Amino acid sequence: MNTIIEPFRIKSVEPIHFNTESYRKEALKKASYNTFLLPSDDVMIDLLTDSGTSAMSSAQWAGMMMGDESYAGSPSFYRFESAVKDITGMSVVIPTHQGRASEKILFSITGGKGKVFISNTLFDTTRANIEFAGGQGIDMICKEGKLPTIPAPFKGNIDTEALELYIKSHGADHIAMVIITVTNNSGGGQPVSMENIRETRRICQAHNITMYIDACRFAENCYFIKTREAGYADKTIKEIANEMFSYADGCTMSAKKMHLQI
Ligand SMILES: Cc1ncc(COP(=O)(O)O)c(C=O)c1O
């Protein structure tokens, strides 16, 4: 028998409120079936986001104690900047308190009326920030990504044929950027292949379109590439991440996940 146990110990627990099916049905009705209007005390298992919903690692808690709160020039920032540069190869690193804050800044500058953002699937905060700035978000998930019962290795891919078709019929001037979300969280947390990212880059480059990565679960996505895509089995997760980010002009990231890697 193959027993898989979690490779960590959990040091703190938080009680959840138990309720009944009929209570939950009533709570949902009261919230007009809008999960954002549900009081979180009524939620037993929260699948709305994976941000901040899991335990922090001992290294993260220790890191908070070691953090330098200096108003400027903090060594914590330099450590963070160097780690991000090492993984992404990007030359400019801007810390924000959370993913949605970086999206707000990015789309206030690059978005606005008439601007279109195309993605495999935009996360809800990403779409909200695009629309709040006056732009439009378009999801182009691949065909197998729309079929939950069919197994496929990379169901988070963007439909590159649909992307090319869109560009052919609408032009590219109004496309502010193409955003590849790894993993594709709103598409069921499904991974995106390197081949798909590379092909998206090729299309973007051919039409002078900026390409971004929403990198919230980049390490898991790299793991799926390593285990499922030909040619990557012998590469390290870092090498795969380096290649993945090399195709992007920039990225935003919610770092409130993936605690074991940090
Ligand atoms: C793909 C994706 N993008 C952006 C965000 C927003 O990040 P944050 O919750 O840190 O604001 C999330 C959060 O779950 C996400 O999954």
> Could you report the per-residue pLDDT of 90-131, keeping only the tens digit for each?
999 999 999 999 999 999 999 999 999 999 999 999 999 999
Cα-to-centroid distance, 51 and ligand 1 (Å): 6
Q: Does 145 have pLDDT greater than 70?
A: yes
Protein residue whose Cα sits closest to atom 2 of ligand 1: 123
pTM above 0.85, yes or no: yes
96 Cβ inside 6 Å of ligand 1? no
Cα-to-centroid distance, 220 and ligand 1 (Å): 15
The larger pLDDT score, comparing residue 20 to residue 15, is at: 20
Domain total for the chain?
1
Whole-angstrom CA distances from 140 to 115, 155, 180, 194, 249 are 16, 12, 10, 17, 20
Whole-angstrom CA distances from 47 to 53, 189, 202 are 9, 11, 34
**Closest ligand 1 atom to Cα of 100:** 11
- Residue 151 lies in domain: 98-261
Task: Give the pLDDT confidence score for residue 255 in this predicted structure.
Answer: 87
Task: Give the pLDDT confidence score for residue 262 in this predicted structure.
Answer: 42
Cα–Cα nearest to 113, from 100, 132, 139, 126: 132
109 belongs to a structural domain: yes
Protein residue whose Cα sits closest to atom 8 of ligand 1: 99
Protein residue whose Cα sits closest to atom 3 of ligand 1: 123
Q: Which amino acid makes up residue 147?
A: L
End-to-end CA distance of the chain: 31
185 Cβ inside 6 Å of ligand 1? yes
| CATH code, domain with 110 | 3.40.640.10
Cα-to-centroid distance, 67 and ligand 1 (Å): 23
51 belongs to a structural domain: no
119 Cβ inside 6 Å of ligand 1? no
Q: What is the largest CA-CA distance in the chain?
A: 58
57 belongs to a structural domain: no
196 belongs to a structural domain: yes
256 Cβ inside 6 Å of ligand 1? yes
Helix axes 218-228, 237-246, angle to 10 degrees: 110
184 Cβ inside 6 Å of ligand 1? no
Cα-to-centroid distance, 1 and ligand 1 (Å): 37
166 belongs to a structural domain: yes
121 Cβ inside 6 Å of ligand 1? no
Q: Does 259 have pLDDT greater than 70?
A: no
Cα–Cα nearest to 115, from 160, 63, 176: 176
Per-residue 3-state assignment (H helix, E strand, C coil) for the chain: CCCCCCCCCCCCCCCCCCCCHHHHHHHHHHCCCCHHHCCHHHCCCCCCCCCCCCCCCHHHHHHHHHCCCCCCCCHHHHHHHHHHHHHHCCCCCCCCCCHHHHHHHHHHHHCCCCCEEEECCCCHHHHHHHHHCCCEEEECECHHHHCCCCCCCCCCCECHHHHHHHHHHHCCCCEEEEEEECCEHHHCCECCCHHHHHHHHHHHHHCCCCEEEECCCHHHHHHHHHHHCCCCCCCCHHHHHHHHHHCCCEEECCCCCCHHHC
Contact 110, 170 (CB under 8 A): no
Cα-to-centroid distance, 60 and ligand 1 (Å): 19
219 belongs to a structural domain: yes
132 belongs to a structural domain: yes
225 belongs to a structural domain: yes
Cα-to-centroid distance, 149 and ligand 1 (Å): 26
Residue-wise pLDDT for 193-249, tens only, equals: 999 999 999 999 999 999 999 999 999 999 999 999 999 999 999 999 999 999 999
Residue-wise pLDDT for 49-95, tens only, equals: 888 777 788 888 888 888 888 889 999 899 999 999 999 999 999 99
Order the strands of the 211-214 sheet from edge to edge. Answer: 136-139, 116-119, 175-181, 211-214, 250-252
